[in-house]
Chains A and B, each alone.
Chain A
Amino acid sequence: MTETSPLRNLDKLKHTFDKLFDEIGKVIVGQKSVVEHVLVAILCEGNALLESYPGLGKTLLVSTISKILDLKFSRVQCTPDLMPSDITGTYVIEEEDGKKKFKFQKGPVFTNILLADEINRATPKTQSALLEAMQEKQVTMGTNTFKLEKPFFVLATQNPIDQEGTYPLPEAQTDRFLLKILLTYPEKDQELEIVNRYTGILRDPNIKVLLGKQSLVLLQNLTRQMPISNENKTYAVEIINRTRKNKDLVEFGASPRASLGLILAAKARALIDGRKCVTKEDIEEMALPILRHRIILSFKAEREGKSADDVIKELIK
């Protein structure tokens, strides 16, 4: 095989991602940017926090993606009585050859895609159980550490309404999420399409597996190898710096982790778009989901009724 063959295959990346979007589109109507951002998070080996009102197809989206990517998928419904061991797993006593011994029973975290539904309903103790898994891709139980299978990706959802009895994620934890993706209500015609699709005779959407685990890991590697100019790197860092300097709008700015995330996410977006380098547009596009959960607005901005997105857009200008 000549050296140019893999390079030629790289030219087909755009086609691959287009097909991926088409397959997801068989199940999910619209929400293209949400799908794109979820894929960005997967390519960056990051985690995403999905915020939306109930009934917008979060779970369906994640399960569909896991099917297309041929990944194991687990779902945890977070409730106040959910224990950390319910997620990570626990030691159980097993009898083997007449001897009793502890055996680690893996929890739902041992998967490729973990959907933590309504994560803000779980207690902080349980929420923090996810921290190590999200960041280190491992689970420590007692003296034993268990590596999670690659690729591993947590998609947590939270509901912006009905906040009573919830435990808002602490700043340290939200920072672990690479992206905060907002799902909005579909357009009228899209909703009509949803109604048509799911109120008649239910047909199997016949979703095809397009990528395997190995391909996904390869794509994750390619994402990190995506070239970016010094100018664009500086621009990304400058945006993050502005969140710290502009005290008029932002009380607490983003951490350097945000700079890493922004550049990585911009690289992933470029890869999905089939480009061979990162553009300024990638950085600006990814700044919103990267920063909206990492900045705390100032009183002035809150008083003016500005959202985090409004402030980020002002900072980018």
Chain B
Amino acid sequence: MKDIKRLFLEIKFEILKIIMLNAVLRGSIFFLILYLPAAFFGIMDMWKYSVYILVVLAGMYSVILAIRQYRQIRYKLLEEREPELQDILTTAHDTMDEENVMVRAMWRELAMKVRKIRPVMFFEPGQIVKWVFVIFVLSVLTAMSPTLTYQLAKHNVTTDSFKLDINLPDFFDGPGINNGDIAAVDIFQDDSIFGDRSPIILGDDELTFEIDQDFSGIDFSSEDDLLNENFDENDDLTQIFIPKGTGFDAKKAAANSKQQKIWIKNYFEAIDK
């Protein structure tokens, strides 16, 4: 009987490992499920330690789950998983005091059967694969959460005509652009600018423009301050909207044009937001 008890202890220990794996996987899912809506609604930015709170919650969930599952391990569970064991286990219990060849043979068989009950019985590969897949999907969603959550600006220059949407996440940043830098793209040099996507990235954030080809919808009257301002050739900002290789006079003229000034204004507004 001692040998059998020892075998059962071994099995319990093996099952414990499976329980731990299950708890870790389910805890991870729990964490990601909490993290996603929190990130979506911007809760993660509200407190500095939000992520740690989620980790603690997920950890507690895992521990509770593991304890609950461990308590559920009974010989009855073994019997359910291995119906053949049911009769032999009950009989072994009832004939503990008997001593003959058949009883010894039964104990031997019981020991062999118990040894066969490896944790594989409790290990459900399908379930594990499912959880790993869920974790993968949630991780991808989490990685893409910045694009799903908020955009730096959605600035409409006009109400119709062509649309320039920049929806690339920060990990698509081009080389040489650091956080806080102003990246530029020569949209006037790009023939396919209208209707096609082109990255205009501001550090880690994104910028969305809607560009009216003929600027007919712009109310210039509200842009007085900006219109009165002059830029010179040393102003880097003008490089944003002026094609490379343009001569100084042309640059200056372009920078001081109404529509360019409005663009620049909008650009700053977007940065402020």
The interface of chain A, by Cβ under 8 A from chain B, is 3-4, 6-7, 10-11, 222, 225-232, 276-280
Q: Counting CB contacts under 8 A, is B104 at the interface?
A: yes
Chain A residues, Cβ within 8 Å of B90? 229, 231-232
Known: A232-B87, A278-B87. A4 touches B108 (CB 8 A): yes
What's the Cα separation between A280 and B91 when bound, in Å?
11
Say yes or no: B88 contacts A276, CB within 8 Å.
yes
10 pairs of A and B residues whose beta carbons are closest in the complex: A276-B106, A225-B102, A277-B91, A229-B91, A229-B90, A225-B100, A227-B95, A10-B105, A230-B94, A279-B87
Say yes or no: A276 contacts B102, CB within 8 Å.
yes
CB distance from B55 to the nearest CB of A (A): 49
Q: Counting CB contacts under 8 A, is B103 at the interface?
A: yes
CB interface residues, B 174-228, toward A, < 8 Å: none
CB distance from A17 to the nearest CB of B (A): 15
Say yes or no: B101 contacts A10, CB within 8 Å.
yes
Interface centre among A276, A278, A279 (most CB of B within 10 A): A276
Chain B residues, Cβ within 8 Å of A7? 101, 104-105, 108
Chain A residues, Cβ within 8 Å of B88? 276-277
Chain A residues, Cβ within 8 Å of B105? 7, 10-11, 276
Q: Counting CB contacts under 8 A, is B109 at the interface?
A: yes
Known: A227-B91, A229-B91, A229-B93. A277 touches B108 (CB 8 A): no
Say yes or no: B106 contacts A227, CB within 8 Å.
yes
Please count the residue pairs between chain A and chain B whose beta carbons lie under 8 angstroms apart in the complex. 57
Q: Counting CB contacts under 8 A, is B272 at the interface?
A: no
The interface of chain B, by Cβ under 8 A from chain A, is 87-88, 90-95, 98, 100-106, 108-110
Chain B residues, Cβ within 8 Å of A277? 87-88, 91-92, 106
What's the Cα separation between A225 and B99 when bound, in Å?
9
What 16 additional pairs, Cβ within 8 angstroms, besides A7-B108, A229-B93, A229-B95? Answer: A3-B104, A7-B101, A222-B101, A222-B102, A225-B102, A227-B106, A228-B91, A231-B94, A276-B102, A276-B105, A276-B109, A277-B87, A277-B106, A278-B87, A278-B91, A280-B87
What's the Cα separation between A276 and B102 when bound, in Å?
7
CB distance from B145 to the nearest CB of A (A): 57
CB distance from A236 to the nearest CB of B (A): 14
Q: List 18 A-B contacts (CB under 8 A).
A: A7-B105, A7-B108, A10-B101, A222-B102, A225-B100, A225-B102, A227-B91, A227-B92, A227-B103, A229-B87, A229-B90, A229-B94, A276-B109, A276-B110, A277-B87, A277-B88, A277-B106, A279-B87
CB distance from B40 to the nearest CB of A (A): 57
Name the CB-closest residue of B to A13.
B105
